[in-house]
Amino acid sequence: MSELSSIVGQRIRTYRIRRGLSQEALARLCDRHPTYIGQLERGEKNPTLESLERVCEALKIPMSQLLEKVEKEPIRTDDIALQCYDIMCSKTQDEQKDLMDLILAIERYKDVE
């Protein structure tokens, strides 16, 4: 199992859960077997481009969004901006808005001092 497969699989799982879909429901939507979806999410299978395209269509996201900022190199633990980006991407739209509001409130507070 490669790190890349694990990252893509985790993203598929995150978007699936965000859409409120079970593995079985996602499998039906993209005409794949539920076992295959589980293997993708665990990073045990490397999907073809066609399979990724079908999964992304079922999840209603562009493939570029699924693969955005995916690197073969390990993520630098000192890259705080990238860590923040990963956290934001794993959240729902409402959670992202709340986090952004919090960040802006902190910035405004710092400007008052």
pTM over 0.85: no
Residue 15's contacts (CB-CB under 8 Å, 6 or more residues apart) are 59, 61, 66
Task: Output the CA–CA distances (angstroms, integers) from residue 106 to 85, 92, 112, in the order listed.
Answer: 18, 21, 10
Which residues of the chain register pLDDT less than 50? none
Domains of the chain with CATH codes: 1-71 (1.10.260.40), 75-113 (no CATH)
